[in-house]
Structure formats: structure tokens, C-alpha cells
């Protein structure tokens, strides 16, 4: 498989998908009841002000015209103005997206590390005590909703044991590092403010652990199932009968074929947690993108809704391309099929 043409092909497909998504969300956001201009200005505003705003937002034009106006602006990098924050939407995105991205990255690191470790140990020792504990954890982790974990963690780690900070990104005694990447941990490192970095890191622990619990449960379960399945395969018996040490068999010969389904699920989870993190961001008062999108929905902030959906959609498409490349790298069978196709 030649990598560059493949990526180009996938990116081209993604553009069509995103165009379709934009038409869908554009139409949906405009046909649901409620006048965005009235909502933005409040019930006390005079009718002429509402009319003026409707004119400014092109709400009186036919839908296709509205869409074309939006699209031509968007292609120029102008996503319109938010009627809630009264700022260009693109500025809001630049402010809020990195904060969520930071959480997603951190929780992904946690979930990869833990799910691989737990899944591999449980899969290799199926039906042992540890494996049974993992199974119980998996069921609980998948079935208990995220907000329950969030509240439990807040209560125990934040309130009872007072081990970790619970709200926001930084304690008040530290000054916020300047906005460079938008990810505060990296910004703090760039300016060399180690104290702020450590404090921010502590703030990240609870929300990202909360975010990763169901993912760890899911991923470990899938890895465990794959390993148990592949453990019966002749190639594992063969490697054993050649005297290859058990740890090497587990972490090389068994892990590589077993981890492939986990990687594809993981891609879904990463992109999902970008859009679906508003509960966590609300509970932990994290000024992130999920919360921003949710506020846009509740206030019928049309430009912000479309922008947040499109950004999450683009993120989704990108992550999926990356995941497909990783899978093709892991599994030569997929690579060979792609080449001939």
C-alpha cells in the first residue's frame, strides 16, 4: 500500500462526507422550532431589533441561499459570529477546542496503557481470579454512566480525601500561562512555569480518568476476548513448542493480532469523547469544546452549532484515517487487499 495516495484518497472521501454533514446539520438547525434571533435578544427586546438581527443572519432568505452564503464564508475561514458570545465562532473554537483536545489526549494515554495491561493479563489467564475481577469491572465500567463516576470521584477524591482539585483548570494562586497552543499543560511548559504545569496536571486527572473508565472497560474486554480467541490458534501452540518464552508470546505473537479490533474501537471512542465530553466538562467546570457545543444547542446559536458539529465531524474523519493506517500497518492482510483494490 502506498501511503500518500491512500491518505489523499481518504481525505478526498472525507471532504464529501463533511459536505453532506454540513447540509444535514445546517438544515436541521434551521427547521427545529424557535427563533434564534428572539432567543439571542431575550423576551424583552423590541420586535424591530429582532427583525434587524434576522436580516443580519440571513434568516429571511430561502434555505439553499442561506446554505450557500454560509458555505462561501466558511471556505474563506469565516464561520460567522456567535450570537451568544458576540465573537467570531472561529475564535471560540480556537479557545475551547484545545482544552478538550488536551483532556482527550490525556485520557487516551491512560486508557491505552491500562486497557492493554489489564486486557492482556486477563486474556492470558482466562478464568483466573484476576480475569473474573476484570470481567466484573468491565460490566460495571460499561454500564454505569459517566456522570455517576464523575460524581463518585468528586465526592471521594475531592471532598472526602481532598487528594485532587475538582474544578477548573488551574488553582487561583497560579497565573494562567499565556495562550500559545491553548493546551495549558503545554503552554505552561513552553513558558517554563513548572508549578502551573503540575497544578494543571492535577486538575486534569479526575476528568480524564472519568472519561477513560468506560473506554478502559470496553477496550480491555475486547483485547481479552481477542487474546482468548487467538490463544487457541496453532501459531501460538507452534511458538510455544519452539520454546519461545511466554512473555514474548503474550506481548508479541498474541498481542499483535489481538489488538487490531481494539484499535478500531478506540478510534470511535476518541472521536466520540471529543463531542460527547460535555457532561464531564460541565461537572468538572472544564472550559472545553463539548460544553461550548452544548451551550450553542441550548441557545440555538446557529453558527456555533454548525461549527462545533463540523469540527467534531472533521476530527472524527481524521481519527478514522489515522486508525485505518495503524490497522493496515498492524495487519498485512488488510494492506495486501488495499493494494490490489
Q: Given the complex with other proteins, which of 40 and 328 has the nearer CB atom? A: 328
- Determine if residue 245 is left, alpha or beta; phi over 0 gives left, psi from -120 to 50 gives alpha, anything else beta: beta
Which one, of 67, 16, 222, 78, lies nearest residue 138 by Cα?
222
Instruction: Give the distance, in angstroms, between the CA of residue 160 and the centroid of all CA atoms in the same chain.
Output: 30
Residue 98 is placed in which grid cell? Answer: 484545545
Under rule CB under 8 A, which residues in 315-334 are in contact with other proteins? 330-333
Nearer to other proteins, 126 or 164 (CB): 126
Q: Which of 137, 133, 126 is nearest to 217 (CA)?
A: 137
CB atoms within 10 A of CB 177: 20
Cα–Cα–Cα angle for 14, 280, 42, rounded to 5 degrees = 85
User: Minimum CB separation from other proteins for residue 251, in Å?
Assistant: 12
The binder of other proteins chosen from 186, 189, 244, 325 (CB under 8 A): 244
Q: Rule CB under 8 A: is residue 336 a binding residue for other proteins? A: yes
Which of residues 9, 238, 338, 339 is near other proteins by CB under 8 A? 238
Contact residue for other proteins among 27, 240, 264, 285 (CB under 8 A): 240
Residue 242, C-beta contacts closer than 8 angstroms, at least 6 positions apart: none
Looking at the chain, the number of H-run helices and the number of E-run strands are 16, 0
Residue from 243, 247, 340, 341 touching other proteins (CB under 8 A): that is: 243
Asked if residue 175 binds other proteins (CB under 8 A), the reply is no
Closest CB to other proteins among residues 172, 241: 241
Q: Which is nearer to other proteins, 73 or 128 (CB)?
A: 128
State which of positions 106-165 bind other proteins (CB under 8 A): 126
Q: What is the CA radius of gyration of the chain?
A: 24
What's the grid cell of residue 341? 483494490
341 near other proteins (CB under 8 A):
no
Number of residues that bind other proteins (CB under 8 A): 25
Residue 241 contacts other proteins per CB under 8 A: yes
Interface positions, 255-274, toward other proteins (CB under 8 A): 256-257, 260
CB of 244 to other proteins, least distance (A): 5
Are 4 and 326 within 8 A, CB to CB?
A: no
Query: Can residue 226 be called a binding residue for other proteins (CB under 8 A)?
Result: no
Q: Cα–Cα distance between 74 and 155 in angstroms, integer? A: 44
Between 114 and 239, whose beta carbon lies closer to other proteins? 239
Burial of 341 (0-12, 13-18, 19+ CB in 10 A): exposed
Distance spanning both ends of the chain, measured CA to CA: 10
C-alpha cell at 39: 432567543
| Residue placing its CB nearer to other proteins in the complex, 168 or 245 | 245
CB of 255 to other proteins, least distance (A): 10
Q: Minimum distance between the CB of residue 119 and other proteins, rounded to whole angstroms?
A: 17
Q: Which is nearer to other proteins, 201 or 329 (CB)?
A: 329
Say whether residue 248 binds other proteins (CB under 8 A): yes
C-alpha cell at 310: 463540523
Which residues are within 8 A (CB) of 90 and not within 5 positions of it... i.e. 6 or more apart? 77, 78, 79, 307
Q: Which of 237, 251, 298, 338 binds other proteins (CB under 8 A)?
A: 237
Backbone region of residue 132 per phi and psi (left: phi > 0; alpha: psi in -120 to 50; beta: other values): alpha
211 binds other proteins (CB under 8 A): no
Taking the complex as a whole, the smallest distance from the CB of residue 129 to other proteins amounts, in Å, to: 15
Which of 153, 253, 284, 289 binds other proteins (CB under 8 A)? It is: 253
| Contact set with other proteins (CB under 8 A) | 126, 232-235, 237-245, 248, 252-253, 256-257, 260, 330-333, 336
Amino acid at each position: 500500500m502506498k501511503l500518500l495516495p491512500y491518505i489523499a484518497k481518504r481525505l478526498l472521501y472525507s471532504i464529501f462526507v463533511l459536505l453532506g454533514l454540513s447540509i444535514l446539520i445546517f438544515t436541521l438547525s434551521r427547521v427545529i422550532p424557535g427563533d434564534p434571533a428572539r432567543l439571542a435578544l431575550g423576551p424583552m427586546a423590541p420586535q424591530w431589533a429582532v427583525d434587524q438581527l434576522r436580516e443580519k443572519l440571513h434568516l429571511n432568505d430561502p434555505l439553499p441561499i442561506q446554505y450557500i452564503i454560509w458555505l462561501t464564508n466558511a471556505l474563506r475561514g469565516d464561520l460567522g459570529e456567535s450570537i451568544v458570545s458576540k465573537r467570531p465562532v472561529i475564535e471560540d473554537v480556537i479557545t475551547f477546542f484545545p482544552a478538550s483536545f488536551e483532556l482527550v489526549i490525556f485520557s487516551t494515554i491512560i486508557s491505552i496503557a491500562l486497557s492493554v495491561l489489564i486486557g492482556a493479563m486477563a486474556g492470558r489467564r482466562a478464568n483466573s481470579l484476576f480475569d473474573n475481577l476484570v470481567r466484573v469491572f468491565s460490566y460495571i465500567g460499561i454500564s454505569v454512566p459517566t456522570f455517576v463516576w464523575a460524581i463518585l470521584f468528586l465526592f471521594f477524591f475531592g471532598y472526602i480525601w481532598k487528594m485532587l482539585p475538582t474544578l477548573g483548570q488551574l488553582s487561583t494562586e497560579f497565573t494562567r500561562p499565556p495562550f500559545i497552543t491553548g493546551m495549558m499543560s503545554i503552554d505552561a511548559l513552553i513558558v517554563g512555569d513548572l508549578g502551573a504545569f503540575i497544578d494543571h496536571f492535577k486538575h486534569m486527572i479526575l476528568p480524564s480518568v472519568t472519561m477513560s473508565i468506560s473506554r478502559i472497560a470496553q477496550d480491555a474486554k475486547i483485547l481479552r476476548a481477542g487474546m482468548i480467541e487467538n490463544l487457541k490458534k496453532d501459531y501460538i501452540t507452534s511458538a510455544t513448542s519452539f520454546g519461545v518464552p511466554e512473555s514474548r508470546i503474550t506481548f508479541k505473537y498474541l498481542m499483535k493480532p489481538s489488538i487490531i479490533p481494539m484499535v478500531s474501537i478506540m478510534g470511535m471512542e476518541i472521536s466520540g469523547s471529543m463531542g460527547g465530553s460535555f457532561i464531564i466538562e460541565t461537572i468538572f467546570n472544564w472550559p472545553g469544546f463539548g460544553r461550548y457545543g452544548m451551550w450553542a444547542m441550548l441557545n440555538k446559536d446557529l453558527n456555533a452549532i454548525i461549527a462545533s458539529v463540523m469540527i467534531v465531524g472533521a476530527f472524527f474523519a481524521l481519527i478514522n484515517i489515522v486508525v485505518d493506517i495503524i490497522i493496515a500497518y498492524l495487519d498485512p492482510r488488510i494492506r495486501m487487499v488495499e493494494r490490489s483494490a
